[in-house]
């Protein structure tokens, strides 16, 4: 009897490790496949870019992109944040941002209102939102210029593929084999979003279309305010967005050290929403603004966000 139990136990253990190995191999192949799809698009850029990766697995594409391209990569994980944080910390990435908030649909909508990404990676993201997939898909298409979106096989019944194909700006790229040997389709959606709907995350008002214009192509990107005043575009995201979406990389200690020199920058409105985080670099925006505090008070308030 004991021999039978031992044999069964060995079979179960062997099956378990075989399954894990096959799963890892599949994930590696899926990663390599997706990266090959991305390269032709990324190679077109001749300027700094901002990449958003939603629902990143342990094989986050952003890590290779950050090393091989002039890019600030923003990762929003699902349930593997600590593994991704460990990779960020051990590799000491200078141009990677890791956000820890589990996004609701309204968070995704707000993100699209106040940020603009050059490339958005949304592999398998729609399955996280279940019955709201159509609303999520519409929202993903408003996040920036180029959205890579994969329609999971289990959503064929929901007609995501048909929904995207009928969008004039959507092009089917290739078919990807899934674990269950069914297929999903990867789409490149080029949207060319041209304006900011909201100045920053908690700004109370929505802007009229055309008030704040984004001009973006593969060689140049600029921001045009009413006036018109054309300013340089900085890759990355607003530091307020980083805080609201529970940014954990770079660490608070790193951010505080990056903020220290800003007290001598001579900015007239040193507010958290006037700082862009680019990984382990910061850039100030809205130099023509007027704050309500003295420079010393403004700097103290700014540092207070990252105690």
Residue with tokens 């670099």: 281
The answer, yes or no, to whether residue 30 has pLDDT greater than 90, is: no
Contacts by 210-214 with C-beta closer than 8 Å and gap 24+?
214/116
For 215-265, the pLDDT digits (tens) are 999 999 998 887 678 888 999 999 999 999 999 999 999 999 999 999 998
Cis peptide before 228 (omega within 30 of 0): yes
Asked if 214 and 197 touch (Cβ cutoff 8 Å), the reply is no
Query: pLDDT tens for residues 175-187?
Result: 444 444 344 677 8
Task: Report the distance separating Cα 78 and Cα 63, nearest Å.
Answer: 16
pLDDT of residue 234: 95
Of 204 and 27, more confident? 204
Structure-model confidence comparison of residues 257 and 2, the more confident one: 257
What are 125-163's pLDDT values in tens digits?
666 566 677 788 888 888 999 998 877 655 554 567 777
Phi, psi of 182 (to 5 degrees): -100, 170
Apex 45 CA angle, 40 and 47, nearest 5 = 160
CA 92 to chain centre: 19
Cα–Cα dist 50/117, whole Å: 5
Q: What is the dihedral of CA 258, 218, 168, 128, to 10 degrees?
A: -30
């Amino acid at each position: 009897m004991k021999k039978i139990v031992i044999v069964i136990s060995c079979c179960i253990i062997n099956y378990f490790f075989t399954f894990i190995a096959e799963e890892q191999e599949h994930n590696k192949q899926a990663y390599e496949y997706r990266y090959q799809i991305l390269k032709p698009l990324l190679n077109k850029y001749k300027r700094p870019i901002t990449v958003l990766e939603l629902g990143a697995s342990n094989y986050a594409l952003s890590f290779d992109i950050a090393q091989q391209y002039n890019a600030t990569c923003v990762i929003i994980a699902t349930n593997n944040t600590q593994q991704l944080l460990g990779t960020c910390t051990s590799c000491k990435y200078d141009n990677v941002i890791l956000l820890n908030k589990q996004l609701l649909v309204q968070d995704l909508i707000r993100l699209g209102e106040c940020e603009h990404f050059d490339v958005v990676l949304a592999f398998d993201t729609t399955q996280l939102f279940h019955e709201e997939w159509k609303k999520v898909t519409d929202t993903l298409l408003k996040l920036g210029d180029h959205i890579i979106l994969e329609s999971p096989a289990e959503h064929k019944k929901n007609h995501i593929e048909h929904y995207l194909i009928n969008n004039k700006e959507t092009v089917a790229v290739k078919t990807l084999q899934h674990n269950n040997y069914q297929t999903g389709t990867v789409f490149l959606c080029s949207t060319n979003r041209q304006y900011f709907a909201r100045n920053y995350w908690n700004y109370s008002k929505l802007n009229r279309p055309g008030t704040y214009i984004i001009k973006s192509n593969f060689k140049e990107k600029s921001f045009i305010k009413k006036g018109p005043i054309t300013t340089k575009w900085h890759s990355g995201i607003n530091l307020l967005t980083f805080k609201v979406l529970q940014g954990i990389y770079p660490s608070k200690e790193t951010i505080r050290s990056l903020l220290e020199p800003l007290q001598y920058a001579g900015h007239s409105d040193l507010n958290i929403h006037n700082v862009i985080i680019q990984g382990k670099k910061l850039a100030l925006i809205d130099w023509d603004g007027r704050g309500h505090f003295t420079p010393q008070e403004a700097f103290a308030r700014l540092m207070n966000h990252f105690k």
